Amino acid sequence: MAALMEAQLPLRAVNNKIRVDGVSRHFPSGHGGQLAALENINLEVLPGEFLCIVGPSGCGKSTLLHLIAGLDRPSTGEIWIDGRKVLEPGPDRILLFQELGLFPWLTARENVEFGLRQKGVNTKERREQAGYYLDLVHLSQFEEHHPHQLSGGMKQRVALARALAMQPDVLLMDEPFAALDAQTRDLLHDELERVWRETGQTIIFVTHNVREAVRLGDRVLVLSYRPGRIKTKFSISLARPRHIEDPEVASMSKKVLGHLREEIDKSVRAEFHHEQFA
């Protein structure tokens, strides 16, 4: 049975893996003003939790992940991981970019090895681990290919292997499967869920696809449109493994979508307005 409830603050606040504390991020906008991408985000993520964030485009989802990854600094507020303040990127939390960011001058294997090399892992071990993770995403045949020789879905999987190979405590995923066909995405959902259960990683997964969020997440957060605020938190207590076509997933998605629809409308209106009068 799908249980819809406004999630309570976790009681064991001390044991949080990630704590986002009153975080805002403003960007300078064109005319000397400020654009608030995120406004007063408070969020606690438990160790091993799979948290999904949905929101309309322009709600600051990616910005939040960049902040947690340490690639960007909040304008106000703080982010804590394992009780340590995030000041810079770290190998304990790896972001899987929406644009992937695979290095075109390296082969698939070398891309996966890149982070291990920065960690100082020796050549032999690097090779083994890269081989293992490429095998995990079913790309062992394509180890020596360069990114441009791979299809969109394959590139996505290389990027996933590159992130997983770092064995991060926290995996941050920014719409990683948005560009994939439905079959490949289904497959990768299963793979990701399996890896997650095996490793006990904490995952924050950003998507605009509500079905995907409900299929994967322990919790689903809805962000509002500009400035991005947390609008609603849903706990998803459906039994795993789930499938995206499960009727329970569908009915839960409908509820989440109800909350999201209003924000999407706002974002579409804003874009329309922008086109008309900009």
Q: Which residues bind other proteins (CB under 8 A)?
A: 66, 69, 71, 88-91, 94-95, 97, 99-105, 114-115, 117-119, 146-149, 162, 166
| Least distance from other proteins to the Cβ atom of residue 115, Å | 4
29 vs 149, beta carbon nearer other proteins: 149
58 vs 89, beta carbon nearer other proteins: 89
Give the span between the Cα atoms of 133 and 225, in whole angstroms.
Answer: 37
101 vs 152, beta carbon nearer other proteins: 101
114 vs 234, beta carbon nearer other proteins: 114
| Least distance from other proteins to the Cβ atom of residue 98, Å | 9
55 vs 115, beta carbon nearer other proteins: 115
Give the span between the Cα atoms of 230 and 70, in whole angstroms.
Answer: 20
Hey, what's the torsion of the CAs at 10, 199, 51, 244, to 10 degrees? -130
| Least distance from other proteins to the Cβ atom of residue 129, Å | 14
Give the span between the Cα atoms of 39 and 174, in whole angstroms.
Answer: 19
Strand partners, 232: 222
Which pair of structure tokens corresponds to residue 159?
A: 């990027």
Q: Helix (H, G, I), strand (E, B), or coil: what is residue 68?
A: helix
| Least distance from other proteins to the Cβ atom of residue 3, Å | 36
| Least distance from other proteins to the Cβ atom of residue 231, Å | 28
Q: Helix (H, G, I), strand (E, B), or coil: what is residue 217?
A: coil
Q: Strand 202-207 to strand 50-54: parallel, antiparallel, or no bridges (unpaired)?
A: parallel
